[in-house]
Amino acid sequence: MLMATSQKISALLLALFFIGTTIVSATVFTLQNSCGYTIWPGTLSGDGAAILGDGGFALAPGGTIQLPGPPGWSGRFWARTGCNFDEAGNGKCITGDCGGTFKCNGGGEPPVSLVEFTLANDNTGKDFYDVSLVDGYNVGLGVRPSGGSGDCQYAGCVADLNGSCPKELQVTDSVSGSVVACRSACAAFNTAEFCCTGEHATPATCSPTQYSQMFKNACPTAYSYAYDDASSTCTCSGSDYLITFCPTIS
């Protein structure tokens, strides 16, 4: 009788173990290229987290790829454009370059549109995510959660900021002369006012500028400058995420 009871307890503990391990599942990031040209998404993981997608890969127009993000993962995704790599994976991208390598081991060179995530450690906690133009803009970017609970808002920048970029912020292709990216005012002018540094290093002393407001008016749910938290940070629990490059208005 004692043995049977012990077996029942062991079975119960084993069942609870498996239940506990299946509750926490990987978040699925689906990256979708809706641009009319090939992009090379880059990935960067924070705090020693797992590297997703080997750090970088090519994604043809209309292509998708799914990447599992483990609980507690934090990092970012962005699009590289106009890339050329040799067989060894060495090369250069016109925008978003990450050190001249196919598989990134660092962040994208500004100006670049970013999507940033900090995932919860379990399915009941909150994921935090945002689309950021703090480092400038190169392509449109959107994040749509699915299957989660909570606020779970769409975040992104659908507008073509390259087409409306002021001349002083424009980055042009040396060959075609077309505008390929729009710099942040911080990158263009490198002043405390625009970079939220020095005497402007707090939310109280770093206010929106005419340039960040231009980004905000075009893309209301994206970060436009360093302290644009209130209307730009989104949360969701137990969700998967569709990340679309060059999204369209739906």
Q: What is the pLDDT of residue 44?
A: 97
CA 217 to chain centre: 20
Give the three-state DSSP class for 198: helix
Question: For residue 2, is pLDDT > 50?
Answer: no
Quote the percentage of the chain above a pLDDT of 90: 78
Task: Find the range with the poorest average confidence among 30-39, 118-127, 154-163.
Answer: 118-127
Q: What is the pLDDT of residue 5?
A: 43
Q: What is the pLDDT of residue 179?
A: 96
Torsion over CA: 114, 189, 98, 166 (sign): positive
Asked if residue 129 lies in contact with residue 241, where contact means CB atoms within 8 angstroms, the answer is: yes
Q: What is the pLDDT of residue 24?
A: 59
HSE (CB half, 13 Å, CA atoms) of 40? 25
Quote the percentage of the chain above a pLDDT of 70: 90
Going from N- to C-terminal start, the domains of the chain cover 26-158+217-245
Q: What is the pLDDT of residue 175?
A: 87
Task: Note if the bond before 68 is cis, omega within 30 degrees.
Answer: no
Asked if residue 44 lies in contact with residue 54, where contact means CB atoms within 8 angstroms, the answer is: no
What is the Cα–Cα distance from 140 to 6, expressed in whole angstroms? 60
Q: What is the pLDDT of residue 16?
A: 38
Fold of 26-158+217-245: Thaumatin (2.60.110)
Looking at residues 38-43, what average pLDDT do you find? 98
Q: At 225, is the pLDDT very low, low, confident or very high (cuts 50, 70, 90)? A: confident
Q: Which of 43-52, 88-97, 172-181, 223-232 has the highest mean pLDDT?
A: 88-97
Q: What is the pLDDT of residue 229?
A: 76
Q: pLDDT tens, 95-117?
A: 999 999 999 989 999 999 999 99
Q: At 250, is the pLDDT very low, low, confident or very high (cuts 50, 70, 90)? A: low
Q: What is the pLDDT of residue 84?
A: 97
The pLDDT mean for the chain works out to 89
Structure tokens at 45: 């993981």
Q: pLDDT tens, 6-29?
A: 444 444 443 333 344 445 578 999
Q: What is the pLDDT of residue 103?
A: 97
Any idea what DSSP says for residue 51?
P
Q: What is the pLDDT of residue 232?
A: 84
